[in-house]
A and B are shown apart, each in its own frame.
Chain A
Amino acid sequence: MTATPPAPTALLAVRNLSKTYHVGHGQHLTAVDGISLSVMPGEMLGLVGESGCGKSTLGRCMLRLTDISAGQVMFEGRDITTLPERHLRPLRPRMQMVFQDSSACLNPRRRVRDLLAEPLRVHPGPDGRRRPGADIDRRVHDLMDLVGLSATALARYPHEFSGGQRQRINIARALALSPRLIVADEPVSALDVSVQAQIVNLFADLQARLGLTYVFVAHDLAVVRQVSNRVAVMYLGTIVEIGPTDSVLHHPVHPYTAALTAAVPRPVVGARPPPPLGGDIPSPVNRPAGCRFHTRCPYAQDRCRVDEPVLRPIRPGHEAACHFPLAPS
């Protein structure tokens, strides 16, 4: 008899995670509604879905950048759900976030050198002591090299850079403390297409060189495909489909994923777009009973209006929450 190998530990796991906001008039908005999900070391998970479905909220909950209403967050196998900030602080270097708006995150009055050195000064080195100035300086130069910026840029201020270059500075800052996990929230959405490709390549290079683990939030499915090996599709606070990137994007079984992929305008002339999905996204304050997608789903049946579907296996590593999953195409 062979012993079963120990189950590998997820770098990050959330269990039945919920986040509710109070939105006045005694109303609540459940932005993330009972999501369970694991991210293995070295994995690149893409998080997609339409505006307001809860992608950013989930990303912030994963890093405990916001309080959690219910459920659990585990980082490196340890429950951090209610860990006070004081105990969270030593973990912070290993989990970092990159945001969409590159200019809002960089203090305009500080030079690039100081922006990059700051996290290194604030957080002690691996030996628990303050890092010597020479080490910080060397690290700052390495970081510039890593993200493809010249060391001559260190003396300049953020506004002297283009949007793409500022996003490189942001990424360098997030990498300063050698994190294991990076949650990137729409890191290329504000950039021009010709510059987006540079940053997308940078994310792929960094993953290959540093073995990083990513959660990559984006609404552009083609960008997500380029940087992820697994994709989770969200709709109104829940995951409706999750699996290997091309399995989900090319052979979706959830009607919402199918509608989403079909709606992406491809840069191919002559490909007639399919008829668009009708209806508007319902309000998350007043979400539909049963399947949350039933108000827009072309395949909805009576059962869908009362009975909420849960994620169940469809193919290896591929799950979907639908009573009537589409036949594989």
Chain B
Amino acid sequence: MPADRSAPLLDVRDLCIGFPARGGMVPIVDHVSFTMPEAGILGLVGESGSGKSVTAMAIMGLIDAPGVRVSGSVRFRGRELIGLPPRQMRRLRGRDIAMIFQDPMTAFTPVYTIGWQIDEQIRAHERVTRAQARARTVRILGEMGVPDPERVARRYPHQLSGGLRQRAMIAMALSCNPTLLIADEPTTALDVTVQAQILDLIRSLRGMHGSSVLLITHDMGVVAQTCDSTLVLYSGRVAETGPTARVFDRPGHPYTAALLDSIPPLYGPRPDRLPAISGTPPTPMDRPAGCAFGPRCAHVHAACTTTPPALVPLGPDHAAACVLPAEGTPLPPRILRASNDTCP
């Protein structure tokens, strides 16, 4: 099938993922829709358990737990991935779509050298000699900022520091020039100074390889400094999506606004108390009938409690799943508060 160049790189429509539990189906991910352009970086944020990893696994065709139901549509350059035969999905994985995880040890086998494993990944998708594969491995490791890449390629995973291992894993993911890289919390386990190196690398990927990145994180700081657009998940549903600057300055969903407000400022005046969100997110099993954020929302009212609010457009590419904008009472912009937290 020829690739459709006019379509977005990735087009996810009404993705639903249900896990069997207690004799029924629990809707872990509930009608999630979003698109990704070519050479874009999309930040997927949300609290623990909101469905970020499960969404990524579904895109990769990696959910195979017994009884799981995946429905909706995931189109990659126009080609439907849901229901694709496993063999074709395997060919796509690694070559067109690659994924990296929080823990690089899951990506590497301890008994082979880093270089050998990257060579094999290349040879699984392309007909090249061992020497050609190694030359490419060394070049990519170098591009990932690995010092002395030839020597590092001969090392075993446990012989490398956390930051080097993370870079080696990104190198392996990029070894076949994938169009889309899905990175699931790639820096959560790293120190901030090492995280800064990896984020720098992710930002440079589109220039280096023309790749798009779906970056999963729970850190709004990482999103602000790395992603062109942002998708906020709350309890398995899209709360808000839009260009990052727009979402941070004029959040349309009370959850996004409250989440941003609850981050302690590093600069500017120090508040006596942080504006915390009370309570905790519902589990997918006891999600309320209406808006899932309702029990914690300062603006909750009768209209919120009947059905889950639909995504309403708020501007170019910007939408939020909240009843307030349609009721004529949208949230005020946050622009002023945000500018307080910049470095003096």
Residue in contact with B245 in the complex, picked from A200, A204, A269, A280, CB distance below 8 Å? A269
**A222 in contact with B164 given A50-B193, A266-B221 (CB within 8 Å):** no
Looking across the interface, which residue of chain B has its beta carbon closest to that of A246?
A: B270
Q: Tell me whether A280 and B224 are in contact (CB under 8 A).
A: no
Distance in Å from the Cβ of B263 to the closest Cβ of chain A?
5
Q: Tell me whether B224 and A51 are in contact (CB under 8 A).
A: no
Q: Tell me whether A266 and B163 are in contact (CB under 8 A).
A: no
Distance in Å from the Cβ of B229 to the closest Cβ of chain A?
11
Contacts of B193 in A (CB 8 A): 50, 259-260, 263, 276-277
Q: Tell me whether B259 and A193 are in contact (CB under 8 A).
A: yes
Q: What is the CA–CA distance of A276 and B163 in the complex, to the nearest angstrom?
A: 13
Distance in Å from the Cβ of B272 to the closest Cβ of chain A?
7
Q: What is the CA–CA distance of A110 and B274 in the complex, to the nearest angstrom?
A: 33
Distance in Å from the Cβ of A164 to the closest Cβ of chain B?
6
Q: Tell me whether B244 and A269 are in contact (CB under 8 A).
A: yes
A194 at the interface (CB under 8 A from B): yes
Contacts of B263 in A (CB 8 A): 193, 197, 222, 267
A92 at the interface (CB under 8 A from B): no
Q: What is the CA–CA distance of A270 and B278 in the complex, to the nearest angstrom?
A: 30
Q: What is the CA–CA distance of A180 and B338 in the complex, to the nearest angstrom?
A: 37
**A226 in contact with B338 given A193-B218, A264-B192, A276-B193 (CB within 8 Å):** no
Report how many A-B pairs have Cβ atoms within 8 Å: 146
**A192 in contact with B225 given A50-B193, A268-B248, A276-B196 (CB within 8 Å):** no
Residue in B224, B226, B270, B275 whose Cβ sees the most chain A Cβ within 10 Å = B224
Residue in contact with B276 in the complex, picked from A201, A261, A275, CB distance below 8 Å? A201
**A195 in contact with B280 given A50-B192, A51-B191, A265-B221 (CB within 8 Å):** yes
Contacts of A194 in B (CB 8 A): 47, 258-259, 262, 276-277
In residues 302-335 of chain B, which contact A (Cβ within 8 Å)? none
Q: Tell me whether B249 and A269 are in contact (CB under 8 A).
A: yes
Q: Tell me whether A268 and B280 are in contact (CB under 8 A).
A: no
Q: Tell me whether A192 and B224 are in contact (CB under 8 A).
A: no
Q: Tell me whether A201 and B274 are in contact (CB under 8 A).
A: yes
Q: Tell me whether A280 and B164 are in contact (CB under 8 A).
A: yes
B343 at the interface (CB under 8 A from A): yes
A225 at the interface (CB under 8 A from B): yes
Counting chain B residues whose Cβ lies within 8 A of the other chain, the interface size class is 35 or more
Residue in A222, A267, A278 whose Cβ sees the most chain B Cβ within 10 Å = A267
Distance in Å from the Cβ of B266 to the closest Cβ of chain A?
4
A120 at the interface (CB under 8 A from B): no
Looking across the interface, which residue of chain B has its beta carbon closest to that of A245?
A: B270
Q: What is the CA–CA distance of A165 and B338 in the complex, to the nearest angstrom?
A: 29
Q: Tell me whether A162 and B280 are in contact (CB under 8 A).
A: yes
Q: Tell me whether B161 and A226 are in contact (CB under 8 A).
A: no
Contacts of B245 in A (CB 8 A): 269-270
Distance in Å from the Cβ of A100 to the closest Cβ of chain B?
14
Q: Tell me whether A192 and B264 are in contact (CB under 8 A).
A: no
Q: Mark B223-252, 1 if CB is under 8 A from A, else 0.
A: 111100000000000000000110011000
Q: Mark B172-198, 1 if CB is under 8 A from A, else 0.
A: 000000000000000000011111110
B112 at the interface (CB under 8 A from A): no
Distance in Å from the Cβ of B105 to the closest Cβ of chain A?
16
Distance in Å from the Cβ of A52 to the closest Cβ of chain B?
9
Q: Tell me whether B342 and A225 are in contact (CB under 8 A).
A: no
Q: Tell me whether B274 and A200 are in contact (CB under 8 A).
A: yes
Q: Mark B56-95, 1 if CB is under 8 A from A, else 0.
A: 0000000000000000000000000000000000000000
Q: Mark A135-176, 1 if CB is under 8 A from B, else 0.
A: 000000000000000000000000000111100000000000
Distance in Å from the Cβ of B74 to the closest Cβ of chain A?
27
Distance in Å from the Cβ of B306 to the closest Cβ of chain A?
25
Q: What is the CA–CA distance of A123 and B194 in the complex, to the nearest angstrom?
A: 45
Q: Mark A42-85, 1 if CB is under 8 A from B, else 0.
A: 00000000110000000000000000000000000000000000
Q: Tell me whether B191 and A273 are in contact (CB under 8 A).
A: no
Contacts of A278 in B (CB 8 A): 197
**A265 in contact with B225 given A197-B275, A280-B163 (CB within 8 Å):** yes
Q: List 8 A-B contacts (CB under 8 A).
A: A193-B259, A197-B264, A204-B273, A225-B264, A262-B196, A267-B248, A268-B339, A271-B224
A-B complex: 5 closest residue pairs judged by Cβ atoms: A265-B221, A197-B276, A276-B196, A197-B262, A50-B191
**With A266-B225, A268-B342 given, can you name 5 additional A-B contacts, CB distance below 8 Å?**
A163-B48, A192-B280, A194-B258, A225-B270, A250-B344
